[in-house]
C-alpha cells in the first residue's frame, strides 16, 4: 500500500471518530459528565447539634458539648469556639487552632463527631393535602418537589407552576425562590434545572398558591 493511501485511510478513521459515525470506537479522551455540584451535600453544623469533641492524648480536654444559640461550643481552657455554619472538618481545625494559638497545646489533634442532630424542619403551606412542618434529613438533601410529595401532593386547585420558597438569609433579609414543580412532575422539557436542584434549608417556608380559573 502506498504512503499516500495509508495516510488517507488514517485521516478517514480519525474523522469517523471525531464525528461519532456508527461503529466508530469512542474517543479515548471522552469522559463521563461530572455530577452537578447542586446535587452534592455537605452538612454544616447548626445550633443545638450535640458534639463529641476528642483531643488526642488529652482526655481531660475531651468533651461532649451542645452548640449554643450563638453557634459556639464551650471548651475547657479556651472557652467559646464558634463552629456553627462550618463542616465537621472545619470545626476540628477551629478547635485545634484555639488550643494551639492559646499556647495550651503544641500540635493538637482534634476529632469531632455529631452525637445528636438539631431538629431541622421546613414548612409546607397552601394547596397541599397535608400542610405543616416537614423534617429535613440529617445528612442528605431535600428538594421542593420532594417536600411537596411528603406533604401529600397538590390539591385539585393548586397552582404547581408557581410554588414559592421563602428563606431568611443570615443578614435577616428574606429571599424568595419560585419553582415550577408542575413541570418537574410532568417531565416537561421547559422545566429549569435549578427547579429540581434547589436544596431546602432549615426554616424555609414552601407555599403552594391556589390556581385562579
pTM recorded for the entire structure: 0.60
Rounded to whole angstroms, how far apart are CA atoms 113 and 54? 9
The CATH number corresponding to 121-208 among 3.10.560.10, 3.40.50.300, 3.40.630.30, 2.30.42.10 equals: 3.10.560.10
122: pLDDT strictly greater than 70: yes
Helix%, strand%, coil% for the chain, nearest 5: 25, 25, 45
> Is the domain 50-116 a CATH 3.30.1950.10 member?
yes
Q: What is the pLDDT of residue 29?
A: 35
Q: Which three cell numbers stand for residue 68?
A: 449554643
pLDDT by residue (tens digit) across 57-112?
999 999 999 999 899 999 999 999 999 989 999 999 999 999 999 999 999 999 99
- Domain residues of the chain, as ranges? 50-116, 121-208
First-to-last CA distance in the chain?
76
Q: What is the pLDDT of residue 63?
A: 94
Q: What is the pLDDT of residue 197?
A: 65
pLDDT band at 19 (very low <50, low <70, confident <90, very high): very low
Beta bridge partners, 66, equal 50
Amino acid at each position: 500500500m502506498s504512503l499516500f493511501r495509508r495516510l488517507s485511510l488514517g485521516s478517514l478513521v480519525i474523522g469517523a471518530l471525531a464525528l461519532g459515525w456508527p461503529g466508530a470506537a469512542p474517543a479515548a479522551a471522552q469522559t463521563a459528565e461530572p455530577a452537578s455540584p447542586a446535587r452534592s451535600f455537605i452538612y454544616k453544623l447548626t445550633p443545638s447539634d450535640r458534639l463529641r469533641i476528642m483531643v488526642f492524648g488529652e482526655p481531660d480536654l475531651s468533651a461532649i458539648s451542645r452548640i449554643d444559640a450563638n453557634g459556639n461550643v464551650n471548651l475547657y481552657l479556651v472557652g467559646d469556639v464558634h463552629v456553627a455554619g462550618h463542616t465537621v472538618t472545619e470545626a476540628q481545625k477551629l478547635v485545634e487552632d484555639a488550643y494551639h494559638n492559646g499556647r495550651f497545646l503544641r500540635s493538637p489533634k482534634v476529632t469531632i463527631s455529631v452525637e445528636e442532630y438539631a431538629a431541622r424542619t421546613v414548612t409546607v403551606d397552601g394547596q397541599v393535602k397535608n400542610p405543616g412542618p416537614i423534617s429535613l434529613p440529617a445528612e442528605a438533601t431535600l428538594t421542593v418537589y420532594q417536600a411537596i410529595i411528603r406533604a401529600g401532593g397538590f390539591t385539585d386547585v393548586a397552582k404547581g407552576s408557581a410554588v414559592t420558597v421563602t428563606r431568611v438569609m443570615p443578614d435577616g433579609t428574606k429571599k424568595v425562590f419560585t419553582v415550577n414543580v408542575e413541570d418537574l412532575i410532568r417531565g416537561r422539557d421547559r422545566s429549569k434545572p435549578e427547579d429540581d436542584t434547589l436544596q431546602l434549608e432549615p426554616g424555609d417556608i414552601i407555599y403552594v398558591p391556589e390556581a385562579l380559573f
